[in-house]
Amino acid sequence: MPVMKIEKRKRAKRENRVIMSVLFVLFCIYAATLLLPLIWMVINSFKPDNNEFFYNQWRFTSFSLNNYKLLFTGENSIMVMLANTLILALSIPTVSAFFSLCAGHAVGSFDYKLKGVVYFIFLMPMFVSVSGTTPYLYKMLNDIGLYDTHISLIIMSCGVSGFGFLMYYAIFKNISRTYSEAAMVDGAGYWRTFLQILVPQAKNIIAAQWVMGFIGVWNDFATPYLFLPSYPTLGVGVKNIADKIDLGHSYPELFANITLMLIPMLVLFFIFQKKIMEVSLGGGIKG
């Protein structure tokens, strides 16, 4: 019997090694399909013009930094687009996280009548198509004089429904009320208890949600294009260059713009990848 068990274990280990080897090869192929387009884009961003780009897309006959220099000059200066993008990418996730925290705390930390109704009200916007509300939102911003302003997009981010609310609701629901009661016995008010006692216990989730929100706003094209036409962001700038490929701009210039746009996202992901993966896999919520 022991000999048979040892043989079964050896056979199981061999089968596991074969399965892991196949999975490793498959994931390497998948990684290559993601990396090769990026490498191709970076290589071609250093081509001087369209002629060089169409001549040979995988090797250099000449190397030029002119495409990157063009991004910092002229009407489509990347510095202006970068400033507009940073205003939105820094403010919107911060405002959204704050209001989602407040809503999650109000619904998750307290017991009161109609709590289930309030919870359902916060969930209802998740069932409404966002694209279906766009015309009414456009008209409303025009009517109140906030169309084509940064503040309009920041106000729009004050909504507290969605995945962020569900995450914070789950966190505050599972935090023992002993912490709040002890703080209030020591003289702390509601806001001090909330900001100094409860919020720090959710700091990892807040950081990960903020980073993902930053990335989402940074890469957003449709919202600034519709509601902020006078203040182009990096995403809108990419479209503007793409629309003018035959009118003085080139594909290498477009690739240079996209490359610069990707660098901050890659840096943020490498710095906060652990926290992002914890949230994505649901490992950040602890009772």
Would you say the C-alpha torsion 202, 206, 207, 209 has a positive or negative sign? Answer: positive
Structure token pair of residue 224? 């600034």
Is the sign of the CA dihedral 152, 158, 162, 163 positive or negative?
Answer: positive
Domain ranges for the chain, please list them: 2-45, 71-280
pLDDT at 29 over 90: yes
CA Rg value for the chain: 25
pLDDT of residue 284: 42
Judged against a pLDDT cut of 90, whether residue 50 lies above it is answered with no
pLDDT exceeds 70 at position 51: yes
**Alpha helical stretches, state H, 157-250:** 163-174, 178-185, 190-192, 203-219, 222-227, 234-243
Cα separation, 94 vs 210, whole angstroms = 7
Instruction: State the Cα–Cα distance between residues 166 and 156, nearest whole angstrom.
Output: 19
Of residues 33 and 273, the one with the higher pLDDT is 33
CB-CB contact of 161 with 125 (8 Å)? yes
Write out pLDDT tens, residues 140-173.
888 888 898 989 888 888 877 677 788 888 888 8
Question: pLDDT for 114-145, tens place per residue?
Answer: 888 888 888 877 777 767 778 888 888 888 88
Across all residues in the chain, what is the average pLDDT? 81
Which range scores top for mean pLDDT: 2-11, 75-84, 216-225, 243-252? 216-225
Least confident residue range of 71-80, 195-204, 211-220, 257-266: 71-80
Q: How far is CA 111 from CA 105, 106, 119, 156, 269, in A?
A: 11, 9, 12, 29, 38
Half-sphere exposure of 229 (CA within 13 A, CB side): 3
**86: three-class secondary structure by DSSP:** helix
Please report the pLDDT score of residue 2 as a whole number.
63
| Residue 17 pLDDT > 90 | no
- The domain made up of 71-280 has a fold known as MetI-like fold (1.10.3720)
Q: Based on the number of CB atoms within 10 Å of its own CB, is 35 exposed (0-12), middle (13-18) or buried (19 or more)?
A: exposed
Q: Is the dihedral of CA 149, 151, 157, 159 positive or negative?
A: negative
Question: Would you state the pLDDT for residue 287?
Answer: 39
Neighbours of 83 (CB within 10 A): 12
**Nearest partner of 42 among 219, 212, 259, 278, judged by Cα:** 259
Over residues 181-212, the pLDDT tens digits come to 788 888 878 888 888 888 888 888 888 888 88
Q: Which pLDDT does position 283 carry in this prediction?
A: 46
| Distance in angstroms (rounded) separating the CA atoms of residues 84 and 69 | 20
Indicate the burial class of 241 (C-beta count within 10 angstroms; 0-12, 13-18, 19 or more).
buried
